[in-house]
Amino acid sequence: MALLLVLVGVVVGVVLASSLLLRWNEMRYGQRRKQGVGCLPPGTMGWPLFGETTEFLKQGPSFMKHRRLRYV
């Protein structure tokens, strides 16, 4: 029972930390993107630690094709 609570706590902590990192990243680099100064390419960077891995696994080979078409 205690192990289950620890495991749930770790999962919740990782999700919370990832959410905060994502929000911080969008605030920091999102403003620069709007100003056009030292900006990154348009689009989302995805969740920290996971990125767009889930989308890549869902879409398979078409993932890169769609990304290339987005920025041409």
- pTM greater than 0.75 (yes/no): no
Distance between CA atoms of residues 20 and 46, nearest Å = 12
In 3D space, the residue among 39, 23, 48, 49 whose CA is nearest the CA of residue 71 turns out to be 39
Report domain extents, the chain. Answer: 2-70
Query: Tens of pLDDT along 13-41?
Result: 998 998 888 888 777 766 655 555 656 66
48 has a pLDDT exceeding 70: no
